[in-house]
Chain A
Amino acid sequence: MPLEDGTRPVVPRAFHFGDESSREDAAHLGMWIFIATEVLLFAVLFTAYALYRLTYPDLFQRAPAHMDVFLGTLNTFVLVTSSIVVALAVDSVRKGRDFAGAALLALAVLLGIAFLSIKAAEYAKHVRDGALPGAWYAYEAFAVPGANLYFTLYWVMTGVHAVHVLVGVSVLVTLMLRTLTGEFGARFHTPVALGGMYWHLVDVIWLFLWPLLYLT
């Protein structure tokens, strides 16, 4: 609601905090609370995985033989590399090298799209095999009790993660464009740092999904 003199009661970017350092601290704390909620979302999925792995230990140990370990491992290196690139982008913007920061964000976007493309190729192979979730499971080469549970968990866990990658790519594109317009730089770069943190969260989650679903 506007005040009598026509100004807004709360000014943009929360200037009531006093200085940029305080605003940055508050923004980071808020981002960590958001990240904690995301961690708890994935914790539920990992708990389901742990419960079913306890129930079908042999099956879960044999399941990676039916996964494309090469593509899964390739995706790990793609995502870790993208995290390095985003960290470099944040460092560049903080130091006032806006154009270099934007270029690095663009590279991270390309790596994110590469991750999703590789994941799509994997999904296509599973669909061809009939390794679908739930009642649609029809994979003859791995037709043992509980196998459909493994692939249901695989689809749900990697699917929810892929949605996060998609959101992360959109965030990085937005940050890149806003950096190019000169909105972010050495004096104000909090959104770049927070967007980078979201991308790193996506990377961290995959670093747990990859060994559990592809390696062990």
Chain B
Amino acid sequence: MRGGARHGGVQVLVVGGVLLGLAALSFGLSRLHLGAWAVPVALGIALVKAALIAGFYMHLTERPGGPRLVVGTAGVFVVILVGLVLAEASARIWPTLPPGPFPVTRLPGKDVEGPPRVAPPWRQPP
């Protein structure tokens, strides 16, 4: 152990109480039907719970340096993975997943009809 104090049983119980309370809060808020905010709120509460567990139960508060760098890097990679996939999927011109508005047999590039396409920048007329 370097760089911090070890956590006692009382602290474990206090963090545990907060975790159980946050779980109850997640369940209660889900009954309120928050609409578009439901997922961000639920994931926000889950993130707080994860941070409490990582910090106190997984001893991250006791260990500066390497472990925190690993956790931070993993978090950044997760954000890049999920973010880029969602950015690409939400930027598609028309749905490319079944049962989208196109027949499954007409793959993009194979059909002569269908939605108009935008020419790539290097083919744009001056």
Number of contacting residues on A, CB 8 A? 48
Find chain B residues with CB under 8 A from A36 CB: 70-71, 73-74
Question: Would you call A216 and B13 a contact (CB within 8 A)?
Answer: no
Would A88 and B81 be within 8 Å (CB), given that A80-B19, A203-B53 are in contact? no
Q: CB < 8 Å: which of A25, A83, A216 contacts B63? A: A25
A160 CB to nearest chain B CB (Å): 16
Q: How far is the CA of A196 from the CA of B1 in the complex (A)?
A: 16
Question: Would you call B53 and A21 a contact (CB within 8 A)?
Answer: no
Kindly specify which of A2-10, A39-47, A114-122, A169-177 makes contact with the partner chain: A39-47
Find chain A residues with CB under 8 A from B20 CB: 77, 80-81
Contact with A along B75-117 (1 / 0, CB 8 A): 0011001100110011000010111000000000000000000
Give the bracket for the number of chain B residues in contact with chain A.
Answer: 35 or more
Question: Would you call B70 and A216 a contact (CB within 8 A)?
Answer: no
Q: How far is the CA of A36 from the CA of B73 in the complex (A)?
A: 8
Find chain A residues with CB under 8 A from B8 CB: 91
Given contact pairs A87-B15, A211-B46, A215-B27, enumerate 16 new A-B contacts (beta carbons under 8 Å). A21-B1, A21-B2, A28-B59, A28-B67, A43-B77, A50-B82, A51-B86, A51-B89, A55-B97, A87-B7, A146-B99, A203-B53, A207-B46, A207-B49, A208-B46, A211-B39
Q: What residues make up the interface of B, taking CB atoms closer than 8 Å to A?
A: 1-2, 6-9, 12-13, 15-16, 19-20, 23, 26-27, 30, 38-39, 42-43, 45-46, 49-50, 53-54, 56-59, 63, 66-67, 70-71, 73-74, 77-78, 81-82, 85-86, 89-90, 95, 97-99
Q: What residues make up the interface of A, taking CB atoms closer than 8 Å to B?
A: 21, 24-25, 28-29, 32-33, 35-36, 39-40, 43-44, 46-47, 50-51, 54-55, 73, 76-77, 80-81, 83-84, 86-88, 91-92, 94, 145-146, 193, 196-197, 200-201, 203-204, 207-208, 210-212, 215-216
